[in-house]
Amino acid sequence: MTTQHRNLRTGQPIWLGKAASHLKFDLLMDDISVDIAIVGSGISGALMAEALTESGYSVAILDRRKPVMGSTPASTALLQFEIDTPLHHLAKKIGLNTAERAWRRSKLAVDALRERTRDLGISCEMISRDSLYLAGNVLDEKGLQKELRSRQRAGFETRFLSRNDLQSRFGIDRAAALMSFDNIEANPRKLAIGYLNKAIDRGARVYAPVEVATVEPRSRDVLATTKEGRKIRCKYFISATGYELPDYVPKKGHQIISTWALATVPQRKKLWPEKCLIWEASNPYLYMRTMSDGRIIVGGEDEEFEDEDKRDAKLSSKTNSILKKLRMMFPEVTAEAEYAWTGSFGSSTTGLPFIGAIPGMDRCYAVLGYGGNGITFSMVASQLVRGLISGAGDPDQDIFAFK
Ligand X SMILES: Cc1cc2nc3c(=O)[nH]c(=O)nc-3n(C[C@H](O)[C@H](O)[C@H](O)COP(=O)(O)OP(=O)(O)OC[C@H]3O[C@@H](n4cnc5c(N)ncnc54)[C@H](O)[C@@H]3O)c2cc1C
Per-residue contact string for residues 344-363; x = within reach of ligand X by CB under 6 A: -x------------------
Among 54, 111, 211, 303, binds ligand X (CB under 6 A): 211
Among 23, 32, 36, 39, binds ligand X (CB under 6 A): 39
Could you write out the DSSP letters of every residue in 232-297? EEEEEEEE--TTS-BTTS--TTEEEEEEEEEEEPPPSS--SGGG-EEEESSSS--EEEE-TTS-EE
Per-residue contact string for residues 152-191; x = within reach of ligand X by CB under 6 A: ----------------------------------------
Among 236, 170, 195, 169, smallest CA distance to 389 is for 236
Angle (deg, nearest 10), helices 96-120 and 87-94: 120
Asked if 242 is part of the footprint of ligand X (rule: CB under 6 A), the reply reads yes
- Under the phi-then-psi rule, with left for phi > 0, alpha for psi from -120 to 50, and beta for the rest, what region is 40? left
Do residues 271 and 294 touch, judged by C-beta distance below 8 A? yes
Q: Collapsing DSSP states into helix, strand and coil, what is residue 298? A: strand
Asked if 63 is part of the footprint of ligand X (rule: CB under 6 A), the reply reads yes
**Choice between 15 and 330, CB closer to ligand X:** 15
Distance of CA 392 to the CA centre of its chain: 25
Span from 42-50, 95-103, 127-135, 389-397 in contact with ligand X (CB under 6 A): 42-50
In this structure, the number of other CB atoms found within 10 A of the CB of residue 165 comes to 15
d(CA 254, CA 260): 19
**Choice between 75 and 267, CB closer to ligand X:** 75
Asked if 366 is part of the footprint of ligand X (rule: CB under 6 A), the reply reads no
Asked if 276 is part of the footprint of ligand X (rule: CB under 6 A), the reply reads no
Query: What DSSP state is assigned to residue 372?
Result: G
**Choice between 88 and 311, CB closer to ligand X:** 311
Asked if 113 is part of the footprint of ligand X (rule: CB under 6 A), the reply reads no
Minimum separation from the CB atom of position 366 to ligand X (A): 10
Per-residue CA distances from 107 to 80, 180, 182, 192, 255 (Å): 8, 11, 9, 20, 24
Span from 73-81, 101-109, 149-157, 158-166 in contact with ligand X (CB under 6 A): 73-81
Asked if 50 is part of the footprint of ligand X (rule: CB under 6 A), the reply reads no
For ligand X (CB under 6 A), the number of binding residues is: 41
Asked if 109 is part of the footprint of ligand X (rule: CB under 6 A), the reply reads no
Report the interface residues with ligand X, using CB under 6 A: 3, 8, 39-45, 62-65, 69-72, 74-79, 211-212, 240-242, 244, 259, 261, 299, 343, 345, 369, 372-376, 378
